Structure 1
Amino acid sequence: MVLQDKLGRRVNYLRLSVTDRCNLRCMYCVTKDFKYIPHPDILRYEEMLRLIDLAAGMNINKLRLTGGEPFARKGFMGFIDNIMARHGEMDLRITTNATMIEPLVPDLKRLGVKRLNISLDTLDRQTFKEVTGRDHLKDVLATIEACLSHGIRVKINAVAMKGINDRELGDFINFARNNPLDLRFIEFMPMGDETLSDSRFWSADDILRQASKFANLIQVKRTSENRGPARMYAIEGGKGRLGLISPVSSHFCATCNRLRITSDGHLRTCLFSDHTYNLRGIMRNPKLGDDMLRKVIAAATRDKPLGYHLLESRKGCEGVCETQMSAIGG
């Protein structure tokens, strides 16, 4: 079975949140009305494996595990091991804040994990504490160094925020110049009860103009393997690359190939849509089986919306959706 929507977009990428728990309290993720999902509503690892098995049979060949912070969930390394044993051909990636995993890097390599996306919004210790509520910058940097030394590819995701990390652009460029990694700025997206503030929003085009003052940037052509949302730029004379992701100022809905499943088992076909499909309810109903799950996933995919149409319908400075980021999984 090939998953395809009414617009002809083929879906082969699944983002699966394993938990909404996290050891950080990032300002753009934990909103004032933040609440954890009740534990009984969180999918068990066995249920997640069942969904991954189904996804693999529906032509999903790329899987990203997210949170919250996925490594904050007990037994997560064993879960990775089970996935790799059952679906070694799948392109498995993990998004993490990297604060607690430096000792685990050799084991991740042994399990076959080839790529990590690491969330890092600043290279300044004090700013890190202000953004995340915790003092863990040195732990993140140590994890990045360990990954690179063990041959695990690293992508750094930095949420671009005026007045927060815009003054560090030159430092970020130098970090990418000196290390073989991709450093990607993502435009700030207000979620839940947040609003889009002109004083904080830092557009991808502005970042590119300012970054060009610090380095000669050479745009990388898109290929069949490099069809993600980031515009990538090689840094002349450098080891790494700069990427720009612009979900707000310049959408990439026409090429979106992903589905999301939240940690409480709800299928979400678009980040900007609050409409979800309750897969957990189907899985925990003994009268329903995998055929029903397949039908719901296929039907939901067919109705996958264009996110920018949803953004246009929202008023003024409203958030891009009503759900907080920690509950979605990024």
Structure 2
Amino acid sequence: MEDGHGRRFYYLRLSVTDVCNFRCDYCLPDGYQASPKQPDLSVAEATTVMHAFAQLGTRKVRLTGGEPSLRKDLPQLIQAAKTTPGIRRVAVTSNGYKLPSAIDTWHHAGLDQLNISIDSLDPSEFAHITGHDCLPKILTGIDRALELGVQTKVNAVLLSDGARDRLQQFLAWLKTTPVTLRFIELMQTGDNRDYFASNHLRGVEIEQLLIETGWQLLPRAIDAGPAREYVHPDYAGRIGLITPYSKDFCSSCNRLRISAQGKLHLCLFSDAGIDLRHAIRDGDANALAESVRAMIDNKEVSHYLQQGNTGGTENLSIIGG
């Protein structure tokens, strides 16, 4: 599956809900606001989507949200992804709120990779950012994931105020903790324009500090996400950077998105999703694959974030970032 700009797509981000129980400052500061919408994709419908994308060359499926652990049938969704022919890696992105009680079940269902969002290792600051005082519980869940052999990454949104202090806390943690910490540049959405203007920090500033202190860039796998990952011989963990405002960021795009309501998003910041729910409900993965293939040439060369475009993305819980 290749678009008109020569990019190939090995990676599907499948949102299973847009509901989230956190109130992060940069995404849902007032909490999730329910609105009339179609029901979320069922396990059967999600299975049809994954089979269609696997036919098109997808190797990796990430189940995301909102907060996917709010779905009681998340283990069934993980298992459906794991048993789809052609899918080699199954990942979940979560805020970790239910992690200690859920990780064994997810692992048994076939989870290969886990991404947990932690913007600060200071418990009080974490509670301030998210609205939940639960950082120790989440860290316990990460420890258990590592015991089970689940490849674990931690996502941290870069915020300008206090960024260097948070970096030092994370570096101390990575000395002995074998996770990949990924710093993600704050992205402007329809709902956070003022917050973005006050808090955006370019990832290149952190990247330069890493290079100056001996961190080395790793090659990127074809089904990997957009992070540039660095390693250091003195650290058990790795550090990645996702810098959507950098030059040519979109040239390496290898992923497509399906929303929890069955809309194809060719870009995180496209104006609107393409409604495929009728085709998904038919349960015909072959026909759905052909529909998706026909739409790929409409993918834009860039997200145009540098020009202030936010498209139809009001907040990142809508489609999972």
AA partner of residue 300 (structure 1): M
Which range is displaced more, 195-204 or 151-160?
A: 195-204
Tell me the equivalent position of 2:302.
307
Counterpart pick for 2:254 among 234, 254, 257? 257
Counterpart pick for 1:84 among 82, 85, 104? 82
Offset, 1:313: 4.2
Preserved CA contact (<8 Å) 1:116 1:155: yes
Gaps of 5+ in 1: none
How many residues align? The count is 320
Residues 320 and 54 of structure 1: is their aligned pair in 2 closer, same or farther, counting only changes over 3 Å? closer
Distance 1:135 1:224 in 2: 36
Residues 34 and 23 of structure 1: is their aligned pair in 2 closer, same or farther, counting only changes over 3 Å? closer
Which range is displaced more, 147-156 or 245-254?
A: 245-254
Does the alignment pair 1:203 with 2:194? no
Does the alignment pair 1:241 with 2:238? yes
AA partner of residue 160 (structure 2): K
Q: Where does 1:29-178 land on structure 2 (aligned, <5 Å)?
A: 29-30=27-28, 35-38=33-36, 40-87=38-85, 89-163=87-161, 165-178=163-176
Residues 91 and 37 of structure 1: is their aligned pair in 2 closer, same or farther, counting only changes over 3 Å? farther
Residues 324 and 223 of structure 1: is their aligned pair in 2 closer, same or farther, counting only changes over 3 Å? closer
Offset, 1:211: 4.6
Residues 60 and 32 of structure 1: is their aligned pair in 2 closer, same or farther, counting only changes over 3 Å? same
Residue identity over aligned pairs, in percent, reads: 34
Offset, 1:4: 1.0
Preserved CA contact (<8 Å) 2:18 2:317: yes
Q: CA RMSD in A?
A: 2.4
Residues 307 and 188 of structure 1: is their aligned pair in 2 closer, same or farther, counting only changes over 3 Å? same
Does the alignment pair 1:298 with 2:281? no
Residues 92 and 199 of structure 1: is their aligned pair in 2 closer, same or farther, counting only changes over 3 Å? same
TM-score (norm 2): 0.90
Does the alignment pair 1:185 with 2:176? no
Which range is displaced more, 101-110 or 146-155?
A: 101-110
Offset, 1:23: 1.8
Counterpart pick for 2:219 among 218, 222, 228? 222
Residues 290 and 183 of structure 1: is their aligned pair in 2 closer, same or farther, counting only changes over 3 Å? closer
AA partner of residue 53 (structure 2): A
Preserved CA contact (<8 Å) 1:179 1:240: yes
Does the alignment pair 1:283 with 2:274? no
